[in-house]
Amino acid sequence: MIKSVNIIGGGLAGCECAWQLAKRGVDVYLYDMKPKKTEAHKMDTLAELVCSNSLKSNDVLTAGGLLKEELRHLDSLLIRVADETRVPAGGSLSVDRVLFSNTITQTLKNLPNVHIIYKEITSIDISIPTVIATGPLTSNTLAKHIMKLIGSDELFFFDAIAPIVSYDSIDFSIAYVKDRYDKGSGDYINCPFDKEQYLRFYNELISGEIVELKDFERNRVYEGCMPIEVLAKRGEDSIRFGPMKPVGLKDPRTGKTPYAVVQLRKESFVNDFYNIVGFQTNLTYPEQKRIFRMIPGLENAEFQRLGTMHKNIYIKSPGILSETYQMIKYPNIFFAGQITGVEGYVESISSGLVAGINMYRYLNGLSPIIFDKRTIIGALCKYIAYKTGDFQPMSANMGLINYDNLRIKDKKEKYGVLSKQSLELIDNMLTEENI
């Protein structure tokens, strides 16, 4: 018998979960703490992208691209809206974040069996079917309750958000438009450094004043969102071979490859704001303005948003969650999103989809849908449920897929086979399981 479900958290995972349940006829009560906001949130709408506006590559020969295609086959609302609100970004799926969030919010509001309630939840009633999708910025009060619920110590790390500059403040006598190896339609703006400029910038960056973390917060920064100044301190060339790598970005005016390059990526349909790619930071606001205006072409940059550092909370899922994101101890409770240990926008959407489908099946006495280990969705589910040893947040990657006896040396060919196999498995599941 179909019942109602509470979903705690109106981020990417919670909204996808709400869609999957609602379209199957379940009454959904979606709780979100807004208009109260964390330090990283700015908008009043659901499904806010708080970091980058990029959902990464659309190429099905990459793990991120394949995961998005799997989700398209499974009728993901959020990926469909991302496709509809896409902005030019070469081979990646980047969106107009305001239009994306507004569209998701309005779509869910228009569903008669979705009830959006703006209220902060501080505890969980385990007798009520509930999906906890509060994300990496879960409030301290609820986080403490969750830790009691799972019987584990709190785990956390910190990541950082990159600044955004206005298009009109970029100096195009210095900056130039070009995609790496010309793969795209002129979606990136490039700020070129010669060696002398780079060394001046580098030395200021590594000595810049940062927002100090407390002692118990140190050394817990996730590699995938490493602040640019932390990465720079690993060596003089660490960022020149990382986010500032110049390969494939010859300056069309000189025909030469710069010593280093800072790339800017479009944030919206109109040329108004650009994200400084890879420049997540924990520098103080005055230092960000001073140091980042040393970037050639950004001397007079107007910052629409400065970088910030925020806490990410996640649970140690193995032994606590099954591969359907359902609690082993309390079957009425599912988790979804980055609080489970998946890392990334699309990965969070994936977990919300799996949790939504399987909460519906649980409520109706149906056997759970177990996604095959040879799909990216299934590989992430199995990582969350069965990872042994040190458990760290994980984003989609081909290495998670079980290759079985596949022996193909050429990486492109191998990934092509894996991609085809994965989508066939998803389509077969749709037919056989009637999901």
pLDDT at 161: 78
Superfamily designation of domain 4-159+311-433: FAD/NAD(P)-binding domain (3.50.50.60)
Report CA-CA distances (Å) from 415 to 201, 408, 419: 39, 9, 6
Distances (CA, A) of 172 to 56, 66, 169, 254, 290: 26, 36, 9, 14, 20
Chain region(s) in the chain for CATH 3.50.50.60: 4-159+311-433
pLDDT at position 222 is 57
Amino acid at 377: I
Q: What is the largest CA-CA distance in the chain?
A: 70
- For 164-307, CATH gives 2.40.30
How are strands ordered across the β-sheet holding 260-266?
176-177, 188-193, 260-266, 273-276, 164-166, 303-305
The CATH 2.40.30 portion of the chain extends over: 164-307
What type of residue is 197? Answer: Q
pLDDT beneath 70: ranges in the chain: 1-2, 36-42, 152-159, 213-225, 268-271, 310, 402-405
**What's the confidence (pLDDT) of residue 215?**
46
What angle in degrees, to the nearest 10, is found between the helix axes of 63-73 and 345-363?
30
Angle at 350 between CA 345 and CA 354, to 5 degrees: 150
- pLDDT at residue 136 in the model: 78
Q: What is residue 343's predicted lDDT score, i.e. its pLDDT?
A: 87
